[in-house]
Chains A and B, each alone.
Chain A
Amino acid sequence: MSVRTLTVSAQIPEVRHGLAKRRIVLLTFGTIASLLIAAGVWILAAVLPSKTGSPIAPLRAICDWIYQTRTSVAIRESSYAFPLIEGIHLLGIGISVGMLCWFDLRLVGVAMTDQSVSKVWKRVMPTAFVGFIVMFITGGLLFWAEAATAYNSMDFWIKMGLLLLAGINAGYFELSTHRHAHEWDNGGILPLKARLAGAFSLLLWIAIIVTGRTMAYSF
Chain B
Amino acid sequence: MMHALLPIFQWFSNSWMGLFIQRFNWVFPAIEAVHIVALTVLFGAILFVDLQLLGLMRRDTTAAKLAQELDPWVFSSLILICITGIMLFSSEALKLYGSTPFQIKMAFLFAAIIYHFTIHRWVANAKAGSLAPIWGRLAAVVSISLWLGVGLGGRAIGFF
Binding site for B on A (CB under 8 A): 19-20, 23-24, 27, 30-31, 34-35, 37-39, 42, 82-83, 86-87, 90-91, 93-95, 97-99, 101-102, 111-112, 114-115, 119, 122-124, 127, 206, 209-210, 213-214, 217
Contact = CB atoms under 8 A, between A and B. Distances in A.
A63 B93 CA distance: 38
Given A27-B76, A101-B44, A209 B61 contact: no
Contacts of B32: 213
Interface of B, secondary structure class, is helix
Contact of A123 (B36, B38, B58): B58
Contacts of A39: 26, 30
A72 to B, nearest CB: 18
Nearest to B52: A123
A102 B44 contact: yes
Contacts of B30: 34-35, 38-39, 42
A90 B155 contact: yes
The 7 residue pairs across chains A and B that have the minimum distance between CB atoms: A98-B44, A94-B43, A210-B33, A83-B159, A38-B30, A38-B33, A34-B34
Interface in B45-104: 45, 47-48, 51, 56-58, 60-61, 69-70, 72-73, 76-77, 80
Contact-size category for B: 35 or more
Contacts of A111: 69-70, 73
Q: Kindly name the residue among B33, B38, B73, B148 whose own CB sees the greatest number of chain A CB atoms within 10 A.
A: B33
20 contacts: A19-B72, A23-B73, A27-B38, A34-B34, A34-B37, A35-B33, A38-B30, A90-B36, A90-B151, A91-B151, A91-B152, A97-B44, A98-B40, A98-B47, A99-B47, A102-B44, A115-B61, A127-B47, A206-B37, A210-B37
A91 to B, nearest CB: 7
B156 interface: yes
Contact of B29 (A90, A112, A217): A217
A101 B34 contact: no
Nearest to B43: A94
Given A23-B73, A37-B33, A101-B40, 17 more contacts: A27-B38, A27-B77, A27-B80, A31-B80, A39-B26, A39-B30, A42-B29, A87-B152, A95-B47, A98-B40, A99-B48, A101-B41, A115-B61, A123-B57, A127-B56, A209-B33, A210-B33
B69 A87 contact: no
Given A31-B34, A98-B44, A213-B36, A83 B29 contact: no
Q: Kindly name the residue among B32, B38, B44, B58 whose own CB sees the greatest number of chain A CB atoms within 10 A.
A: B44
Contacts of A27: 38, 76-77, 80
A20 B73 CA distance: 9
